[in-house]
Amino acid sequence: MHFAQIIIAASVAYVWIFRFENIILEFERFGLSVLMRSFVGAAKIALATLLVVGIWYPNLIMIPSILMGLFMISAQYFHFKIKNPFIKRLPSLLLLILCVFLTLASLKTI
């Protein structure tokens, strides 16, 4: 479970910090505003932080993993909308699968 939390958090941090120019281009292609991009980025980084904190406080895992999963479903929708190839959809699909795993695994900690 910890491995999935770290993978999700590290992936979000990598994309939103080190590949931000790619995020700018994607949001433009998706037809989304700068305000929406800023909201999504701030929310994803906050959720990723909560997933890391969840290593020590497992009760924090479920809600961030569900919300992050919803962001990944949204990413899938926008990739389909602009007809991106599967390889472009794969990262958000893998993170969605990890979010589902975390959500189901966190049910056991309740």
Distant-in-sequence, close-in-space partners of 92: CB < 8 Å, separation ≥ 6: 72, 75, 76, 79
Domain that holds residue 49: 2-109
DSSP per residue, 16-27: IIISHHHHHHHH
**Among 62, 23, 60, which residue's Cα sits nearest to residue 42?**
23
Confirm if 106 and 62 have CB atoms less than 8 A apart.
yes
* Number of domains forming the structure of the chain: 1
pLDDT in tens, the chain (110 residues): 899 999 999 999 999 999 999 999 999 999 999 999 999 999 999 999 999 999 999 999 999 999 999 999 999 999 999 999 999 999 999 999 999 999 999 998 76
Statement: the pTM of the whole predicted model exceeds 0.85 = yes
Token pair for residue 39? Answer: 């909201």
Whose tokens are 């893998």? That residue is 94
